[in-house]
Structure formats: C-alpha cells, structure tokens
A and B are shown apart, each in its own frame.
Chain A
Amino acid sequence: MYKVLKREKIVPNIHLLVIESDAIYKNAQAGEFVVVRADERGERIPLNLVDWDKNSVSMMFMEIGTSTRKFAALKAGDEIATLVGPLGKPTEMTKGKKILCLGGCYGIGALYPVIRAFKEQDNTVVTAIEARSAYLLYWQEKLKKYSDEFYEITRDGTQGLQGHINDFLQEYLRTNAVDLVYVQGCTYLTYLSSETTRPYGIKTIVGLNPIMVDATGMCGVCRVIINGETKFGCVDGPEFDGHQVDWENLLSRRKIYLKEEVYSLSFYECEKYG
C-alpha cells in the first residue's frame, strides 16, 4: 500500500495527487508515467508524472470514471493499492532549440516536468496553455518559471487570447520560426495540433494516452499505429511523432470500454451513495 501525502482539487474536475515513494524518483525523467490502482478491486491506470522528489511522486488527473472518482475522494493519510514506475520512454531531449509547448486540461500538469527539462537543456521554451475559461487554467506561475514566452488561451476570452489552441498555433507558426512543437492533453488536442503543424512541416511530438493494463509491454492493449506500424504506447511511447499517428484508430481504441466505463461508474456510485 502507498500513502497519500496530498490530494488537492486544482481546478474543477482536475486534481493533483501526491503519493509517498522513495523508489521512483531515482530514475524518473520528464515524459514518463506511473501506473496507479486505487484499491484491491481497482483498475490499473497510467498517469503522467508531473513532479517527483526523494519522498514522493505527483500526478495530475481529470475526474471522469470510476478509478479517477476513487482517486478524487482520497485525502492525506489514505492509501492506494498500486504505484509503479517510472514507465514509458522519457521525452527525447534536444539542446539549444526553440520549442513550442502546448498543454490543455490534465496535460497542463504533464507539461511542467517536460518544459523544465527542455529549459535545463538550454532550449528556448514557448509555453501556451488552453482551457474553456479562465477558471480552468492552472499552474501559470510554475510554468512561467521555465518559459521564455508564456501564453494563455481561453475559448470564452476570460483570460489571455480568445480562441482555440490551433488558432494560436496557426498565428504563431505564421510569424515565428520554431524547431519543435510538443503537445500534452486529450487526444482531440494532440490530434488537432498535429494536423495544424503538418503543413508547416514542423516536427510535432505528442503525448498519447491509449488504454493500458500492465504498462510494461506485456498485454498490447495500448497498441497504436505509427507510420503504418503497430507500436506499444507503454514501452515504445507514450510520446510519438504526431504526424505519424493513425488518429482514427487511436480515437476508436480509446472508446473500447466506453459502455463498461459508464456502467462501472453508476455501479460504484450506487454502491457508495445508495
């Protein structure tokens, strides 16, 4: 069992989870993830590492299904059944490049260790985060610390630029030279960003989130088609070249258990709240 040091709602539906661990930090690198399981009956789910030190690891998650509902109910001192990592390949590092980093939703948290690592490697980091409205944006100060330029985008215009992230992306790429685009967020955001950068021919690295079970390369549920070839998200990824991803396949594979997920959540809530 692993002790919860902190669970904090950062913005509506998005939570930070800090779990005690003295093993994971040693090899942890930006872009990697952990697998967590709430309790003995729980499902194994992958969450990006957003930070780590010699006593703990931190993850950001969106409350959406049974597992994340269970995590959202945790408080300091509680325990979770499984914590294993770091898993996946770390973000491929570059030196002295100009990198445009985009994040949305839980991906804003996932962006944090990556821009920190990019900055530490003397890259020029341009960070842009997106949300529907101002009250859904978070961690601006933490991100600014490692960003040379920083942008906020809201769809309703309540904070920063108004519009979608791809509106910003179009405009930025039209007027600025960029070596690499890096994107963390939901599948729609990573897809949209990749399609926006494609005509510019700028390499675009996206963090994907296919369904996983063991997350060590054993089961193959996380298979994604990259440049026509089947790869495993957990050990070959989770980051891939967005211009090579078969998005239609990824979007459909993400929905394999949609029906069961809805059923599971209503079952859990009935059991818990009657």
Chain B
Amino acid sequence: MASKIVPKKTPMRERPPQERVKSFKEVPFGYSPEEAITEAKRCLQCKKPTCIPGCPVEIDIPGFIKFIAEGDFAGSIKCLKEKNVLPAVCGRVCPQEDQCEKLCVLTKKFEPVAVGRLERFAADWEATQGESPIPELPKSTGKRTAVIGAGPGGLTVAGDLSRVGHAVTIFEALHKPGGVLVYGIPEFRLPKSTIYREVDYLIRCGVELKLDFVVGKTATIDQLLKDFDAVYIGTGAGLPWFMNIPGENLNGIYSANEYLTRANLMKAYLFPEYDTPIVRGKRVAVIGGGNVAMDCARTALRLGADEVRIVYRRSRKEMPARDEEIHHGEEEGIIFEFLTLPVKYVGDEYSWVKEMECLRMKLGEPDASGRRRPVPIEGSNYITAVDTAVCAIGQSPNPLIPQTTPDLKIGKWGNIEADEKTGKTSKKGCWAGGDVVRGGATVILAMGDARVAARSIDEYLKTGVW
C-alpha cells in the first residue's frame, strides 16, 4: 500500500484526436501492467467498501483490485468473472462516475480509484493469454431456460444460470450476438472482438446460442414455454423515436438505430468491401444529447463529414451523455448547439434533405426528471444547411413480443412490467429486465436486472414456486 495517496487517477493513454477521427480504431489504449499496478495501489482496501453497493452486479471491487496490485492478473480476472460475465465490456462502457467510482472514499479529497480502467485491464490482459479457462460446471439440473436477446442482460442471465447447472438457450434476432453492444456501440468505443470473446466464453461454458430467431415471429413465448421451464425477456429498447416534424421522411434522415446499425453491425464504414451502404454526409446534424447521440456524431466524423453538430434542446449541464464521451467529442471537433430544437426539414427537388429549420430555447422550471424544461423562444427560428440528420432522441421497447403474448402486462410506454425485486412479469414462467422494462437505460443496469432475475429463476427452477 502506498504510504502517501496519489491524488489523481493514473492517466490512460489515448489515440490523438487528429489521428482517431480518421479511423474506427479504439480511442483509449488501456493500461500497461505497470500502470495498472500503480493505479491498483491507490485503492485503500477499505474494511467496509463503499464502492460495492454502487455496482449493479455486485463485483468484489477491492478484491479484484488487490490481485492487480499484487501482480496476480489471473486471480483478478477470476474474481471479476464470479460476478460479471462481461468485464471487458463494462470496463469500457459503464458509467463508473455515477456508480462505484462515485462512492469511492478517495473522492472526499481526491480522484477516485479508476475502477473501470482496472476492470478493462484485467479483461484485456486475459485476452492476451490464449483461451481463457472455464470454471468447473456443476451437474446439470435438467431444467431449461430460454433467454430472449443476446444483449448484456441476456448474456448475464445465461452466465448466471449455466453456472448453477441449468441449461440455457439464447435466442437472438440478429445475425450476431451482443445486442446493443454490437449494433449500437461503435467499434472505436467497444471493439466487436471484445464482445465476441466474452460470448465465446459463455458458449464454452455450455450456453446454446440460436441466431436469426425472432421471438414473437419465428416462435412465440407460449411456443417456447412448451420446451423451456422459464423464459427471460431481454429484448432491449429497439423501437426508434422520431420527432414527427415535417420533412422527417426525406432521404438523408436517419434514426440513430439505423445509422449505428449500418455503421457497426453491417460495417458500412468498410463499403464497398462490405455491401451495406451508408450516406457519407458532409454537414451532419445529430439531434439529441445522450451517449447514443455522441456515438452517432463521432461516427459521422469518421465517415468523412466536414462538420458535425450535436443539436440539443437543453444546455450542456442537462446532457445525459457521459462526461468522458462529451469530452472525446469536443476534442474531435464536434460542434455543440445547445438550447436548439429542430422544427422542420426541407428537401431538394430529389427529396434529399438540404435544410433544417430550428428554434432557440431557454430553460424554464424543472420538469418531472428534475431537469429544467426547455421553453421555445418565440420568433427565434433560423435555417441551417444539412445533408444528413440523425435523430437520436431515444427509443422504446420493441412491440413484437407484447403483440404476440396477450397475457403479458404492458406499461404505458410499451414497456413490459416486471417486479423490481425479482424481475417477474405478469406471466407465469416469464421474467424481464433491462431496457424492455426500463425504456432506454444503460448496459450495466440491464446486467443488474438480469442478475436479480437469474436468482429468482434459479429459485423457481429449484422449488417450482412462482
């Protein structure tokens, strides 16, 4: 243990902005073993750790950090994997600043321990060591669970249940596993190989993965329940919202889901080597202020845009995007237009968007979310030239399962209703969690929900009591 606390986190080296805007390679490099050990030694190893309650999947944070401090990286990743099947993912995309790191005792005087960077380090170190060892699996219980959606929640449920001896089959609608991690989060923030490695680990642990299978269409939940004892619904929030303003269906206007799916899942940034095209706009406007909007804006830059603007109706303070993402965007030259609301798109004679009409806003009284409500400033309309616009204002759950499962109780936003403490839905044998319950939230909250549901499923499979 260091006798004197180093006040700041060990910095993580990054690709310089002018270099990274030309490529989809990952921006931060991750720690070297020396940097990781230095950072791990900043952890005070509190007797009563305050950080753990901040982690939705209850990782033994001081535990895995201690192993790193001692140079036992294999011990560290083993400790992480007891609680988290996706450490390489969470180390990169979790909002640690709002969770574990926020509760670190060091924050009273200094910067917290860089928990996320250390988690990433341990997982990335393991990837350099060849095929990772799989834990000893218990005898099969003979019970079968169907997990719908191979996103972060589904993968977590699969990992937790297979670890206690239940058979798990994951049904994924797309042709790759990973859900939002693969179609949504760009390569420069989360390399696909990282996800596939973690999914591969689960498959080696005995989890079965069925791709190209749309539950609700290929088979309904009731059909699945004939072959499975339990069903976990982790289908995410896949229905994109539009603003319903004039001109929104002009060519060149995307939902964030489409823009990111083309760029990430379909690898349109490698067109024509890959067959799926994407519009490489020169003047791009991205509407919205969350992480998804930041991902779209940074993708547009890498696709060769001259000018990319984030258009957000509130101010920087209310932006839901992580500080780190905003900071990266600023470094890369994204322009931020705060307190601005698009009200109309105008097309050229070929129905391609050429202009966007916007309205300036000011902040009024706080709304239900506690953030100050944006209020339009009368007569502040102005017109600006755009050739591509991406609408990243949010999404709601995909309706395919609710439509085909009549006894599943649905909330007013199209979300599936599930008990907070167990993840149980209104339908016997069915659990749900993550964005399909919460609307658009985060990867780690989906994983936390999954952990809760997995416990409840395990209990049900053992006792048969609903």
Contact = CB atoms under 8 A, between A and B. Distances in A.
Interface stretch (A140-148, A188-196, A215-223): A215-223
Contact of B251 (A27, A67, A253): A253
A267 interface: yes
Given A216-B238, A218-B238, A44 B266 contact: yes
Nearest to A257: B277
A226 to B, nearest CB: 11
A223 B247 CA distance: 13
Contact of B240 (A38, A86, A218, A260): A218
A68 B258 CA distance: 22
A63 interface: no
A138 B462 CA distance: 58
A223 to B, nearest CB: 6
A232 to B, nearest CB: 9
B399 A84 contact: no
Contacts of A257: 277
Contact of A43 (B212, B242, B266, B273): B266
Contacts of A27: 217-220, 223
A37 interface: yes
Given A41-B275, A44-B266, A252 B251 contact: yes
Contacts of A230: 242, 244, 248-249
Contacts of B220: 27
Contacts of B244: 230
B276 interface: yes
Contacts of A248: 351
A23 B218 contact: yes
Interface residues of A, number: 44
A91 to B, nearest CB: 15
Interface in A148-166: none
A213 B173 contact: no
Contacts of B262: 213, 219
Interface string A51-93: 0000000000000001100000000000001111111000000
Contacts of A86: 217-218
Nearest to A45: B275
A252 B253 CA distance: 13
Nearest to B172: A84
A261 B277 CA distance: 8
Contacts of A66: 275
B251 A216 contact: no
Contacts of A260: 271-272, 277
B415 interface: no
Given A218-B239, A230-B249, A256-B279, A213 B213 contact: no
B94 interface: no
B354 to A, nearest CB: 14
A249 interface: yes
B272 A267 contact: yes
A214 B261 contact: yes
Contacts of A214: 173-174, 183, 238, 261
B240 A220 contact: yes
Contacts of B214: 84-85, 87, 216
B398 interface: yes
Interface string A79-114: 001111111000000000000000000000000000
A186 B256 CA distance: 29
B287 to A, nearest CB: 14
A43 B261 CA distance: 12
Nearest to A222: B258
Looking at chain B's contact residues, is the secondary structure mostly helix, strand, loop, or mixed? loop
A220 B257 contact: yes
B255 interface: yes
A24 B183 CA distance: 24
Contacts of B218: 23-24, 26-27, 84-86
A227 interface: no
A219 B249 contact: no
A235 B214 CA distance: 12
B274 A85 contact: no
A131 B42 CA distance: 76
Contacts of B267: 41
A67 B249 contact: no
Interface string A245-274: 000110011011100110110011000000
B251 A220 contact: no
A225 interface: yes
Contact of A81 (B175, B248, B252): B175
A249 B275 contact: no
Interface string B200-220: 000000000000111001111
Interface in A223-247: 223, 225, 230, 235
A227 to B, nearest CB: 14
A248 B217 CA distance: 31
Contacts of B175: 37, 44, 81-82, 84
Interface of A: 23-24, 26-27, 37-38, 41-44, 66-67, 81-87, 213-214, 216-221, 223, 225, 230, 235, 248-249, 252-253, 255-257, 260-261, 263-264, 267-268
Interface of B: 173-175, 183, 212-214, 217-220, 223, 238-240, 242, 244, 248-249, 251-252, 254-255, 257-258, 261-262, 266-267, 271-277, 279, 350-351, 398-400
Task: List the 3 closest A-B pairs by CB distance, nearest first.
Answer: A260-B277, A252-B351, A219-B258
30 contacts: A26-B223, A27-B217, A27-B218, A27-B220, A37-B175, A41-B267, A41-B273, A41-B275, A42-B275, A67-B275, A81-B175, A83-B212, A84-B218, A85-B214, A213-B258, A214-B173, A218-B238, A218-B257, A219-B255, A219-B261, A220-B255, A221-B254, A221-B258, A230-B242, A230-B249, A235-B399, A235-B400, A253-B351, A264-B277, A268-B272
Given A27-B223, A44-B266, 18 more contacts: A27-B217, A27-B218, A43-B266, A81-B175, A85-B214, A87-B217, A213-B258, A213-B262, A217-B398, A218-B238, A218-B257, A219-B255, A219-B258, A219-B262, A235-B400, A249-B249, A253-B351, A268-B275
